[in-house]
Amino acid sequence: MRPWKGLCEAAPPAVTVRHLPRREEESRLDSRSYRWWRRGWGVAAALALAAAAGGVRAELDATEHAIVAFVDAERAALEADLERHVNVNSGTMNPDGVRAVGALLERELEALGFATEWIDLAHVNRGGHLFARREGDRGKRVLLIGHLDTVFERDDAFQTFVRDGAWARGPGVADMKSGNLVIVYALKALAAAGALDGAQIVVAYTGEEENPGEPLAESRAHLVEAGRFADVALEFEAGTRDASGELIVTGRRSSSEWRLEVAGRQAHSSRIFSAEVGAGAIFEAARILAAFYEELAEEPYLAFNAGTILGGTDVEYDAAETRGRAFGKTNVVPRRAVVHGGIRTISSEQLERVRERMRAIVARSLPHTEASIAFADAYPPMAPTEGNRALLEMLSAINEELGGGALRAVDPALRGASDISFVAPYTDGLAGLGPYGEGGHTPEERVDLESIPRAVQRAAILIYRLTR
């Protein structure tokens, strides 16, 4: 059973309000979505209409007050659950631990009336995903995203939850077991306030976000399908803040790879640069890399890196392991070079444009050399669309109604790719909706316990308003 099976055709299509060039199939999706947007389905349109009519509330309604009260009353239970979850090791390569954490969440979701499905990923050497669904006929279709795994494996020394005043340390406490529980307790609050029935919600807890199984087309297929179902996607990784206040993710850059292969004419080094021998493979690789830097380094939001380079008479390179060996002599013109690197862009359009510029640079070969460059997709970008910004405005208003400050968008250059990237081409969304955390992926990882109730309350109220 797919948690959203049969809903994609029956309900309105995913709504996007975008001004970025897209691939052909996504453009067709946009044209269909635009018709629904004109009829009032779009997040941005709905917010604008509500504001024009005085419908953006300056205070919480009775149901929302009930949500707030429930979360305040459940704080001790939430912290106890967090300790229980953190103390179960769920390193990506510990499938039993990933399944155990999934089972804890599965029981909670089933008690709330969700139909659950465990998606086994043994075929890609990973534990699996937990998906859950509540069918309904009211409001937006909402996708809630978390992940079960952490970077801390069974043999890591960092294994235990420890309270330290208003903070708690532990493996995955911020990335992202506290965010997983924000999802569960937001849904509990909605149920307690009588606001869950009729809502269309899919919960996706992936089991290998920190080290995805390959090929990604298989390990992320269910998440992509859920993204096609959704009108709004909300991801609950740890929140961010600075001196001015809390920040929410409205955009993330893509993450993909490139590999440059260069061939030259092997000869005695005394003949290098001659009309008969040319420049050799290593000088050609150097020319290409220098041109990448000179011509692309100022591109906004672009990051590209050459992570590995090997050159010489003979080169052996294992791309999967990003390691190899090279042999050459100082008196021999090298005949081969390999460079392996990565690219991050803010949009699919920017990625394609940069790739074309890289191909053009590669094609300008030095004498008696030839080079080719290949690209491999991984995480798509989460472009900062108008729909995403409208969702941020809704969440910011809620945060202020709860007594907090205005929320701002994180600079997309400061956040890496994550699971929401896979659904971003199909729906509007926000990320970083979990409680505030620090030190992720290190033995200093910790979460601000005081930030958890607010994260639950505003998530629950946002879902409530989206599903009216």
Residue ranges per domain, the chain? Answer: 7-252+382-466, 255-379
Closest by CA to 171, choosing from 108, 92, 234, is 92
The CA–CA distances, whole Å, from 194 to 62, 68, 94, 282 equal 11, 13, 38, 68
Side chain identity, residue 185: Y
Look at the pTM and tell me if it is higher than 0.75: yes
Q: Is the pLDDT of residue 44 over 70?
A: no
SS3 of residue 387 by DSSP: helix
CA distance 337 to 328: 11
Q: 98 or 4: whose pLDDT is higher?
A: 98
CA distance 419 to 206: 8
* pLDDT tens digit sequence for 123-144: 999 999 999 999 999 999 999 9
- Which residues have C-beta within 8 Å of that of residue 455, sequence separation ≥ 6? 179, 182, 236, 239, 433, 434, 435
Q: Where are the alpha helices (DSSP H) in 87-140?
A: 95-111
Q: Does domain 7-252+382-466 have CATH number 3.40.630.10?
A: yes
Task: For 72-222, list the strands marked E by DSSP.
Answer: 115-120, 128-134, 138-147, 162-164, 167-169, 199-206
pLDDT band at 415, cuts 50/70/90? confident
- Which residues have C-beta within 8 Å of that of residue 49, sequence separation ≥ 6? 40, 55
For residue 96, give both structure tokens. 């039993």
Across the chain, mean pLDDT equals 89
CA distance 208 to 34: 34
Give pLDDT, residue 30: 38
Q: What percent of the chain has pLDDT over 90?
A: 84
* pLDDT tens digit sequence for 251-285: 999 999 999 999 999 999 999 999 999 999 999 99
Give pLDDT, residue 176: 97
Mean pLDDT of 317-337: 95
The CA–CA distances, whole Å, from 64 to 59, 60, 118, 193, 463 equal 9, 6, 32, 8, 11
What are the backbone angles phi and psi of residue 35, rounded to the nearest 5°? -65, -40
Query: How many Cα atoms are found within 13 Å in the side-chain-facing hemisphere of 140?
Result: 29
* pLDDT tens digit sequence for 201-211: 999 999 999 99
Q: Which residues on adjacent β-strands are paired with residue 145?
A: 204, 235
Mean pLDDT of 86-108: 98
Q: Is the pLDDT of residue 73 over 70?
A: yes
DSSP label of 67:
H
24-38 and 43-52 are packed helices; what angle lies between their axes, rounded to 10 degrees? 20
Q: Is the pLDDT of residue 457 over 50?
A: yes
Q: Is the pLDDT of residue 305 over 60?
A: yes
Q: Does domain 255-379 have CATH number 3.90.1720.10?
A: no
Q: Return the residue matching tokens 């298989």.
A: 218
Q: Is the pLDDT of residue 335 over 90?
A: yes
Give pLDDT, residue 321: 87
Closest by CA to 207, choosing from 128, 118, 145, is 128
Q: What percent of the chain has pLDDT over 70?
A: 88
Q: 178 or 13: whose pLDDT is higher?
A: 178
Mean pLDDT of 34-57: 42
